[in-house]
Amino acid sequence: MGVYEIIFYLFAAVTLVSAVFVVTSRNIVRAAFNLLFTFFGVAGIYVLLGADFVAIVQLIVYVGGILILLIFGVMITNKITEVDIKTGTIHTLPAAIGVGLFTGIVGAVVLNTEWRVVDSEMPESTLTTLGTMLITEYVLIFELLGILLLIALIGAASMARK
């Protein structure tokens, strides 16, 4: 068992265990902090797959942006003076049975498929290639995403101010 395998199992365990706490913890703030570890674990998995730039973007955007936004949402929509910030759950048993069945089906499909794997060499750095692709092949989508982010920013600000 090499270093790569050990690191993979470590990151997979961190991701999945903290994700279980995210969806089962009754305390919202605890769930939000477990989401932090899930995002870190997923970033580690990206690094193991040779996607260095996407891993950095994951850390900056998810941990630095989206998670902070979610925690702000938790704090604004709960009365801080009440000490316990709890959330209720509904339909726990049917959901657990249904999701368990679905997990079994997807897992069986993944395990029984003969994936045609091309063992390509892991690139030194993906930064140059990604940058070139973003401003040549995918420039239209890149610009559209810029406009979309601007619209989302204006829309969110004007909706929250009302």
Partner 1 sequence: MLEISLTHFLVVSSILFCLGIYGVVTRKNAVMVLMGIELILNASNINFIAFARYGNFGLQGQIVALFVIVLAAAEAAIALAIVLNVYKTFVNINVDELDTLRD
- Return the residues of window 43-102 that contact partner 1 according to CB under 8 A: 45-46, 48-51, 53-54, 57-58, 61-62, 65-66, 69-70, 72-74, 76-77, 87-92, 95-96, 98-99, 102
| Inter-CA distances, 48 with 6, 104, 111, 129, Å | 11, 26, 21, 18
Neighbour-count burial for 124-144, b at 16+ CB within 10 Å, e otherwise: eebeeeeeeeeeeeeeeeeee
CB of 70 to partner 1, least distance (A): 6
- Rounded CA separation 84/87 (Å): 10
- Give the burial class of 39: count Cβ atoms within 10 A of its Cβ; 0-12 exposed, 13-18 middle, 19 or more buried: buried
Of residues 20-39, those binding partner 1 (CB under 8 A): 20, 22-23, 28, 31-32, 35, 38-39
With contacts defined by CB under 8 A, how many residues of the chain interact with partner 1? 81
- Rounded CA separation 119/146 (Å): 35
Site string for partner 1, 132-161 (x = CB under 8 A): -xx---x--x---x--xx--xx-xxx-xx-
Residue 10 as a binder of partner 1 (CB under 8 A): the answer is no
Residue 131 as a binder of partner 1 (CB under 8 A): the answer is no
Nearest to 67 by CA among 43, 39, 47, 86: 39
CB of 6 to partner 1, least distance (A): 10
Contact with partner 1 (CB under 8 A): which of 111, 124, 136, 140?
111
